[in-house]
Amino acid sequence: MSATIITITSGKGGVGKTTATANLGASLADLGYRVVCIDADIGLRNLDVVMGLENRIVYDLVDVVEGHCKLRQAMIRDKHLQDLFLIPAAQTRDKTAVSPQDMVRITDELRQESDWILIDSPAGIERGFRNAIAPADLVLIITNPEVSAVRDADRIIGLIEAEEKGPGKLILNRVKPEMVRRGDMLATDDILDVLAIDLIGVIPEDEAILIATNRGTAASLDSKSKAGKAYRNVARRLNGEEVPFEILQANDGFFRRISRIMKPGGER
């Protein structure tokens, strides 16, 4: 085994890095792979609660770095998927407790016994971000269709290229098809046009994400969730499958559709 290391980052906070990490981790493990998720957000850990493993933490990433435990001891097995693991961040330390070299050393050790290593990056462009991208084979940049998030994504893309970790791939999260149709939300093509980067996923806004997070499970294991399905498709694309991008349908009724057809210029 020699794992592929994927870092999920965004620049801006709150766009869905941790949710994406948890959902991709679960999707890849569900495909039958051995997956280790690492929370690199030291001091503000959250991947543990999103994955529902907060009560099982004994050791964390800083304990491994400082030699207080073996790597294996810090790996928490998922409740549902046998081959999904979490290495949590330390909550009472700061980013300087880990160096980019530490991250490379730890992931080199993990590489031999896993298929995928997913690293959840903290927001920002400082030490925590540098730690997260240091060992990456591929960087996924996640953004939302709003000017602030796209601007930060552009900055991150530049930094990743400067670190020779580029070009990276884009996940566009929290898309509302109805707003896009109305012309009040940046469309996928607009964002790709501005950022000039390859797309690997478009995730619709979906209440199932919050519901899954409330429970500490992954929406990608819920067959009815649209966002969950979109994440499963990202996992399949990472795995080398050609999966067409799903066309997001606005939930609109018969009359709305008629008026759209009648509208001069038609729909985009």
Partner 1 sequence: MSFFERLRIGRRGTAYTAKKRLQTVLIHDRSGISPGLLEALKVDMIDTLSRHVEIDRGSVQLSLTKERDQQRLVADIPLANRRSRRRAT
Q: Kindly list the residues in this chain that would bind partner 1 in the complex (CB under 8 A).
A: 146-147, 150-151, 154-155, 158, 180, 182-187, 190, 193-194, 196, 255-256, 259-260, 263
| Least spacing, CB of residue 174 vs partner 1, in Å | 14
CB contact at 8 A, 51 and 78: yes
| Least spacing, CB of residue 146 vs partner 1, in Å | 7
| Least spacing, CB of residue 7 vs partner 1, in Å | 22
Q: Which is nearer to partner 1, 187 or 243 (CB)?
A: 187
Q: Which is nearer to partner 1, 114 or 143 (CB)?
A: 143
| Least spacing, CB of residue 151 vs partner 1, in Å | 6
| Least spacing, CB of residue 230 vs partner 1, in Å | 21
| Least spacing, CB of residue 6 vs partner 1, in Å | 26
- The residue whose two tokens read 């495909």 is 31
Closest CA to 142 of 162, 118, 163: 118
Cα–Cα distance between 76 and 93 in angstroms, integer? 20
Structure tokens, 234: 């990202």
Instruction: Tell me the C-alpha to C-alpha distance, in Å, between residue 244 and each of 29, 107, 124, 201.
Output: 21, 32, 32, 10
Convert 103-152 into a string of H (helix), E (strand) and C (coil). HHHHHHHHHCCCCEEEEECCCCCCHHHHHHHCCCCEEEEEECCCHHHHHH
- The residue whose two tokens read 């552009």 is 154
CB contact at 8 A, 121 and 40: yes
Q: Which is nearer to partner 1, 133 or 185 (CB)?
A: 185
DSSP-assigned beta bridge partners for residue 259? none
Q: Which is nearer to partner 1, 93 or 151 (CB)?
A: 151
Q: Which is nearer to partner 1, 54 or 146 (CB)?
A: 146
| Least spacing, CB of residue 256 vs partner 1, in Å | 5
DSSP-assigned beta bridge partners for residue 201? 171
- The residue whose two tokens read 């280790």 is 36
Q: Which is nearer to partner 1, 89 or 159 (CB)?
A: 159
Residue 27 backbone dihedrals phi, psi, to 5 degrees:
-65, -45
Q: Which is nearer to partner 1, 104 or 192 (CB)?
A: 192
